[in-house]
Amino acid sequence: MFRLVVITAPTALSEEPRLLAALLAAGLQRLHLRKPGWPAEELAQLVEALPTHFHSRLVLHGHPALVRRYGLGGLHLTASQRAAAARRPALLPGQTLSTSFHSLAEVAHARRRYDYVFLSPIFDSLSKAGYASNFDLATVRTFLQKRAASPTRQPQVVALGGIDSQTSKLARTAGFAGAAVLGAIWQSPDPVAAFRELRVGLG
């Protein structure tokens, strides 16, 4: 099943807890809390501001101790954290581990420790000016088809970069397990309506 993932805006937003809770209430199954540079205390406050019944759908970028403390859905490692991690971080049963890659070669060599990985930028970024894709979608489709035919367990691959109502359909057709959305949500005057439009467009 193709899954939509939403990544938070990198900076604090007005009424952010209300907006995030509304997205989750609208059916969002995976919300990545990505706040570069935020100390653990501020991230903890954001988590605590969200209803506890949504905690299992939250994935925190970094801070494995907070992931365990609040029983969150998973942990996402940055490139530097991934390089420093000699083994899979200690997580609770059912909590996922993910990371981000920027080439097919990195995905091909991904260790089995990851449940899913982001691959970006698949399309030209909506939120980062000048962050253009260097992927050929036909090549990506062939790569993903070969992985799907492999009997060994491998991380699912989620498309990131330039995801909107049109490109999300292309990502699904290419064989991605899901798409991670950033700009199309947070550049909209109504993030919840933008999310609903994406879901409807995928059928």
The full set of domain ranges for the chain reads 3-202
Percent of the chain whose pLDDT exceeds 90: 78
| Banded pLDDT at 1 (limits 50, 70, 90) | confident
What's the pLDDT score for residue 163?
95
| Banded pLDDT at 196 (limits 50, 70, 90) | very high
Question: 3-state DSSP call for residue 140?
Answer: helix
Determine the Cα–Cα distance for residues 48 and 113; give it in Å rounded to an integer.
Answer: 28
Tokens representing residue 60 in the block: 């925190």
What is this structure's pTM? 0.94
| Residues 25-53: tens digit of each pLDDT | 999 999 999 999 999 999 999 999 999 99
What's the pLDDT score for residue 127?
72
| Residues 161-190: tens digit of each pLDDT | 999 999 999 999 999 999 999 999 999 999
Helix (H) or strand (E) segment spanning residue 98: strand 96-101
Tokens representing residue 131 in the block: 């962050």
| Banded pLDDT at 74 (limits 50, 70, 90) | very high
In the predicted model, what is the mean pLDDT of residues 154-161?
A: 94
Rg (alpha carbons) of the chain, rounded to whole number: 16
| Banded pLDDT at 2 (limits 50, 70, 90) | very high
Domain 3-202 class, CATH top level: alpha beta
